[in-house]
Amino acid sequence: MTPSVPSPSRRARRRTAAVGVLVAAAVTAAFALTLDDSANRDDTPDPSAVVTGSAAPPPADDSLLALARRDPSDALAVGRADAPVVMIEYSDFQCPFCRQFAQNTEPELLRSYVDRGVLRIEWRNFPLFGEESEQAALAGWAAGQQGRFWEFHDVAYGEPRERNAGEFSEEKLTGMAREAGITDIGRFQADMASDKARSAVREDQEEGFRLGVTSTPAFLINGRPVLGAQPVATFTEAVATAAKAAKAAGR
């Protein structure tokens, strides 16, 4: 009997699947190194991370550049779609260290790199702390549908909020939406409750899980994993290094 030969499309799917497995394995190992380094310095069993040490993060993995969506219509991204450096951020609105990054580090990155066209930041919803985290993620996505995601982001991280204590109830999230300048609250609530919102959040979360992300915040800067609310200098060094490499590669 002559053995069957896979069609070109089947062979292509297999190659794509194989590449996906290799990419996931590479970045999972990189995140694991960062996680292990973090664990050596912080014994707190909390899936939100702050890292204050000076150990160098794992090197960049160019194969992970394809994870950057670079969609000009992406409401959960800021910066030029063709920026030489893309930082993918996996975050949870209930994570205190995500809030620390948003308040202490992100503004400097916006001023120094995003505004100059060097850096693009792409947000990925990665709810880790249960129902209120998931509701906050859905609310953020819904805010983006009216072009107010980053305003909502700033409001949500604007003050300390106790985890899973009603701070991200539907009523509170609606109040945050109003504070963020969202005018069509009915649409916001409908978008938040939609299957499209849940699908978008699930897609982000599953991407993070495939990469081995287990705590927030977690970042990929042109394929270089960085875990936790590290000092500003860690991020500026990573962005500057990525920009230099991109220029050398003609990107």
**Nearest in space to 202 (alpha carbons), one of 95, 127, 149:** 127
Mean pLDDT of the chain: 84
What tokens appear for 113 in the block? 């790199």
pLDDT digit string, tens, across residues 182-215: 999 999 999 999 999 999 999 999 999 999 999 9
Residue type, 247: K
| Three-state DSSP state, 88 | strand
Residue 143 tokens, joined: 């805010």
Backbone angles phi, psi at 224, to 5 degrees: -100, 115
The 10s digit of each residue's pLDDT in 112-149 is 999 999 999 999 999 999 999 999 999 999 999 999 99
Tell me the H-state helices in the chain: 8-41, 96-104, 106-109, 131-144, 149-156, 170-179, 185-192, 195-211, 232-248
Q: Which residues, including other chains, have CB under 8 Å from residue 75's CB and lie 6 or more apart?
A: 144, 145, 147, 149
Question: In the prediction, which pLDDT does 132 show?
Answer: 98
Query: 152-176 pLDDT, tens per residue?
Result: 999 999 999 999 999 999 999 999 9
Average confidence (pLDDT) over 82-88: 98
- Structure confidence at residue 47 (pLDDT): 75
In three-state secondary structure terms, 93 is coil
Identify the band that residue 14 occupies on the pLDDT scale cut at 50, 70 and 90: very low
How far, in Å, CA of 189 to CA of 82, rounded? 33
- Between 48 and 113, the higher pLDDT residue: 113
Contact 93, 158 (CB under 8 A): no
C-alpha atoms less than 13 angstroms from C-alpha of 59 in its C-beta half-sphere:
4
pLDDT average, residue stretch 9-31: 43
pTM for the structure as a whole: 0.81
The set of residues, in sequence order, having a beta carbon less than 8 Å from that of 80 and lying 6+ positions away, is: 117, 120
